[in-house]
Each structure stands twice: as structure tokens, then as C-alpha cells.
Amino acid sequence: ETGVTQSPTHLIKTRGQQVTLRCSSQSGHNTVSWYQQALGQGPQFIFQYYREEENGRGNFPPRFSGLQFPNYSSELNVNALELDDSALYLCASSLVRLSSGANVLTFGAGSRLTVL
């Protein structure tokens, strides 16, 4: 089975620009979530998509938006980039369980964004 793949792996933008990051979920997974990991910190939840709709959001402003496509791939869009947006952006996929259990995520290797 294929894992979670993300593109691009690295990119550099300038303040005020817009960026789109892409993610292909693991085969068979129907939920995708995005995390921001600043240097020296743990990943922070941005939002989650299930059946192409956002069904959970962390403490991030509206200029962070996303899409999930019918094939369960996903995009993260960030508008009006700020210097503090420089971070590793991680995509993770999972399979929603009908029974209770830990929500085990499979992560991609991330896209490292640098905003100058």
C-alpha cells in the first residue's frame, strides 16, 4: 500500500504571496488532516477534512484554507503569507472508524515552507 505523499518538499515564498501545498492520502483512507510544525515545536492541528467537507479546525485564521477531492487527495492553501508561516506542513490521512478507538494518523514527510 502507498503511504502519504506531499509536494513540494521545499519551497520559498515572500511575504504577502499565496501558496498551495498538495497531499495524496494513503490508499483506503477517507480523512485527511493538516498540521503545522514550527521549528523546535510539536505539530499543531490546522484542520481536518472528511467526505470533502471541513469537519474540524484548530486555532488558525481563515487565510488557511483547504480542499479534499473525491479521490481523497487534498490541498492546503495559505493566502497573504506572513513570516511566521515559515514551518513544516504535515499532511496526515486516516480511516474514520465507526467503533471507538484511537485516531491513528499516517503522516507524509511534509512540505517545508520558508517565507522571506
Q: Rule CB under 8 A: which residues touch other proteins?
A: 4, 33, 35, 40-45, 48, 55-56, 58, 90, 92, 100-110
Phi then psi for residue 84, to 5 deg, are: -70, -10
CB of 28 to other proteins, least distance (A): 16
CB of 109 to other proteins, least distance (A): 5
Backbone torsion region of residue 78, taken as left when φ is above 0, otherwise alpha when ψ lies between -120 and 50, otherwise beta: beta
Q: Which is nearer to other proteins, 19 or 91 (CB)?
A: 91
Q: Which is nearer to other proteins, 19 or 47 (CB)?
A: 47
CB of 99 to other proteins, least distance (A): 12
Q: Which is nearer to other proteins, 84 or 102 (CB)?
A: 102
CB of 1 to other proteins, least distance (A): 15
Q: What is the CA radius of gyration of the chain?
A: 14
Q: Distance between CA 54 and CA 114 in Å, rounded?
A: 26
Residue 42 Cα distances to 35, 39, 62, angstroms = 9, 8, 22
